[in-house]
Chains A and B, each alone.
Chain A
Amino acid sequence: MARAWRRAAPPAEDPAVRSRSGIELLDVGHTYGDRVVLREVSLVLPEHRVAVIGSNGSGKSTLARLLNGLVLPTSGRVLVDGLDTATDLRAVRRRVGFVFQDPDAQIVHPTVAEDVAFGLQNQRVPAAERDQRVTEVLARYGLTEHADHPAHLLSGGQKQLLAIAGVLVMRPARVVFDEPTTLLDLANRRRVGRVIEELEQDVVVVTHDLDLLAGFDRVLVVEDGRVVADGGPDETVGWYVARMS
């Protein structure tokens, strides 16, 4: 099995004495029925921007879903800032926003502004503050003029921006993106790429879009449920491209 620039797994001491900041996966495995999707993955992710690449079915989307508890590990533990996704699920989800590949599945309200407000309503944010934050985030992503428009009439790029706005308005400390540019044209891919680049939050991006990875701090290559390469974007992407050739 090829392993390039693999970082050492975290030591297996008591989690209480380990760093409390960042994402940690401790011997994480996951199975769907008899199918093993992830095998004994151990990672510490303190970096600002981390990308996960790999073939279809390699386990990278499951890895992303583990980070905010959408999927719980079958074995091992996932810690976010010291919080275990298995036992502190709601607290973890407040810290980790998740942007899905298909924005249509993520937009749950008929109009743009109402959908952005949805997460804030769940967090019981007072109406005045909610309106202010919705207005701010719509302006930030160029959606103000669409605020009262039906979400299904937006373009694909606008829908993805709406999905991102709906997550960011909740002010998570980290954001996980699962193939955010897969359904987009070149202009919108670049636009979403700039949005990710400008985020103050720590981000983990699962993607097939290798152009997105310039400037990332760390890139992981997942294959057959394992992290087979781990390092800076230039060397890791180069290794991955050579392997796929």
Chain B
Amino acid sequence: MSTLALYSPRLSPLHRTPAGVKLAALGALSVLLFAVPRLPVAPAALAVVVVLALGGARLTPRQLLAQLRPVWLWLVGLLAFHLVVTDLASGSLAVLRLAALVLAAAVVTATSKVADLVAVIEWLCAPLRLVGVRPGRIGLAIAMTLRFIPLVAERGARIREAQAARGATRPMFLMLVPLLVQVLQLAHTTAEALDARGADDEPPPRPLWRRS
């Protein structure tokens, strides 16, 4: 399953916890880890996150490791950088802090439906109505980004295969223009689909300064 297959449907205490609470906890953890830059705090936070992931969210160790796979090279690079520039303790702190946050974010997304996360973001953006912004549009943009990243990657892979089959030696470079054309075509049809499905039914809110 792709790393963008974020939600992992299960019956667990963390799945039942409101998305807003989980996002707030994630924010608090981020502040804590950067406000208290001490070595015991980061491994303790990482341990708590792992316990919550395995026990509270009932995720498997394999799922957790899969979340670290895309960033492990960064973690190794970060540690190496600190070993050269500072020391092992600082490097360990930075790596453990980042790993704890990546896993915590993974736990939030694995236990929360995108719609619930988007609803929280829309709620947070509600005051923007005063300046004429539709919070629903922000939520839709986030949801569509998550939806279309794997689709565009798939289209790119198809173009690379087609070009490789015809002997292209630099497919990464050559795929940009056809991919752009396909993405523009996709965007046009998706815009039509949004219209057809009533995405434009909500009139934009009037900005505060235009209200009588």
| A interface list, Cβ under 8 A from B | 65, 68, 70, 90, 93-94, 97-98, 100, 102, 104-111, 114-115, 117-119, 122-124, 148-153, 166-167, 170
Contact = CB atoms under 8 A, between A and B. Distances in A.
Interface of B: 1-2, 4-7, 9, 113-115, 140, 143-144, 146-147, 150-151, 154, 186, 189-190, 192-202
Contacts of A124: 201
A110 B146 contact: yes
B115 A151 contact: no
A102 B189 contact: yes
Nearest to A163: B193
21 contacts: A70-B192, A98-B196, A105-B186, A106-B189, A106-B197, A109-B144, A109-B147, A111-B113, A114-B115, A117-B115, A118-B197, A122-B201, A148-B9, A150-B6, A150-B150, A152-B2, A152-B154, A153-B1, A153-B2, A166-B197, A167-B196
Contacts of B147: 107-110, 115, 151-152
**Residue in B143, B144, B151, B193 with the greatest tally of chain A CB atoms within 10 Å:** B193
Contact of A170 (B7, B151, B198): B198
A115 B148 CA distance: 13
B5 A150 contact: yes
Nearest to A96: B196
A104 B182 CA distance: 12
Contact of B201 (A90, A100, A110, A166): A90
Main secondary structure on chain B at its contact with chain A? helix
A152 B149 CA distance: 10
A148 B151 CA distance: 18
B19 to A, nearest CB: 13
**Residue in A68, A93, A110, A166 with the greatest tally of chain B CB atoms within 10 Å:** A110
B194 A108 contact: yes
Closest 3 pairs between A and B when the two form their complex, measured CB to CB? A122-B198, A105-B189, A98-B196
A108 B193 CA distance: 9
A118 B190 CA distance: 14
B52 to A, nearest CB: 21
A39 to B, nearest CB: 23
B116 to A, nearest CB: 10
A105 B198 contact: no
Nearest to A104: B151
B20 to A, nearest CB: 16
A91 B4 CA distance: 36
Nearest to A176: B196
Contacts of A70: 192, 195-196
A111 B1 CA distance: 13
B196 A148 contact: no
B193 A106 contact: yes
Contacts of B143: 108-110, 114
A151 B113 CA distance: 13
Contacts of B146: 110
